[in-house]
Amino acid sequence: MRERVRIQISDHFNYRKLLKFVMPTIVMMIVTSIYGVIDGLFVSNFVGKTPFAALNLIMPFIMILGGMGFMIGTGGTALVSKVVGEGDREKANRYFTMVVIFAVLLGLFLTAVGIAVMRPIARLLGATDNMIEHCVLYGRIVVGFTTFFMLQNIFQSFLAAAEKPKLGLAVTLIAGCTNAALDALFIVVFRWGLVGAAVATGIGQVLGGVIPLVYFARKNSSLLRFTKTKLEIKPLLLACGNGSSELLTNVASSIVSMLYNGQLMRLMERMELNGENGVSAYGVLMYVQFIFLAIEIGYTIGSAPIVGYNYGAENRDELKNVFKKSILIMAVSGTVLTGLAQALAVPIAKLFVGYDEELYRLTVHAFRLFSFAFVFSGIGIYSSGFFTALNNGLISAILAILRSVVFQVAFVFLLPYLFGLDGIWWAMLATEVAAAIAAVVFFIAKHKKYGYA
C-alpha cells in the first residue's frame, strides 16, 4: 500500500492540495456555526415565537464574550506559525502554551462579568417585558460555558497550524452532534424549553474545548504541544493585537446586530406591524449567514498558517501562489453561495417560521434581498485574515472596522431612509461591496512590501 503523506504548511500548494488542507477547517467552522442554528430551530418550532425572538436578541452579547477566543486564537496562530517558519519550535510551543493559559484565565473572568450584567444588558438591547426573563435565563446559562467556548475557538485555529485540521474537524463533529442530539432530548422529549437549548449548547462547547486540550497536553505527532512556560506580556500583546481584527469583527457584528434589531423594532412598530417578527426574521437571516460565511471564514482560518509560515520563511513565491489561488476561490465561492441562498430562501423560511404566515412571507422577502451580499463577502473576510496571518494587525483591524462597523452602521441607518424597511435588508449588500473595494485598495498598496502579487 502507498503510504499517505501528510500535507505540511511548508509544502507547495496547487488548488487540490490547498482545498484538501483547508477543507476540514471549513467543515469545522460550518458545524460550529450550526450550534446557534440548531438552538434557534428547536426553540422556534417547539418553544415559541417570543422565546425565539429573545434568543436572537441576547445572542449578540454572548458572541461578544466568545469572540475573545477568536482574537486570541487567530492572533496567536499567526504568531506561532511565523515562529515555526523561522525555525524555532521550542519558542513556538511556549507561545502556544501561554496563549491557552491566558485564554482560560480570561474566560473565567468574562463568565463572572457576563452573568452579573445579563439583565441590564438585555434591557439595553430592547427586551420587552415578555422577552426579558427568556433573555436572562438563556444568556446566563450559555455564558456559564464561556471558557470552553473560547478554548474551542482557539483550538480551531491552532489545530490547522499544528497540521491536524482533520482532528479539529472530528472534535467539532463530536461537539456538534452532541449539541443537536441533546437539543432534541432536552427540548422535545424533556420539554426544558430555553434551559434545554442553553445546556445542550454548553455541553457541546465543553467537548469542543476539552478534547483538544487533552490532546495537546499529551505527547502527539503534531507541530505543537504544551510545555513549561510563564506568561510573558510582549508575545501576549502581539497575539491579542494581531488578532484584534477578529475580535473587532465579532464585537462589531454583535453590536450591529443589536442596531439591526432596534431599527427593525422601530420601523415595524411605526408601520403598525409586529416588531418581534422583524427580530425573528433577521434572526433567521443571521443563522443562514453564520453557516454560509463559515465557509469563507473556515477557508481563511485554514489557510492562515500557510501564509504565516511562508511569511516567516521569507518564501515570497509560495506566498504569491497561495494569495492568487485564495482570491479566485473567494470570488467563486461568493457567487455559488448567492445562487444557493436564492434557491433555498423558501425552504429555509418554512423550516424556521413556517408556522406563522406573516413572519414566513417577511423572512422570504428579506432573504431574497439580503443574499446578494454573499457575492462580495469572501474578499472582505479573506483580506482581514490575510493581513492577520502576515502579522500586520493594524491593517487587519482597519479592514475589520470598516467592514464590521463603519460601513454597516452607516448603511443600516442611511438606507431605511431611502428604501424604507427594504433598506435594512439591502444594507448588508452595500456593506460587502464597500468592504471589497477597501480590501482591493490595501492589497494594491501593500503588495510590494510582502511580495504576494
Domain residue spans of the chain: 15-450
Rounded CA separation 235/107 (Å): 19
Q: H-type helices in 162-221, by residue range?
A: 165-183, 194-217
pLDDT for the residue 35: 66
Q: How far from 263 is each of 64, 172, 407, CA to CA, in Å?
A: 20, 35, 16
pLDDT in tens, 250-297: 776 777 777 777 777 777 777 766 667 777 788 788 878 888 888 998
DSSP 6: P
The percentage of the chain sitting over the pLDDT mark of 70, rounded to a whole number, equals: 96
Average pLDDT over the chain, rounded to an integer:
87
Provide the whole-model pTM. Answer: 0.74
pLDDT in tens, 10-31: 899 999 999 998 998 888 788 7
Residue 440 in this model has a pLDDT that exceeds 60: yes
Higher pLDDT, 416 or 209: 209
Angle at alpha carbon of residue 397, lines to 369 and 22, rounded to 5°: 70
Selection from 38-52, 321-335, 405-419 with the highest mean pLDDT: 321-335
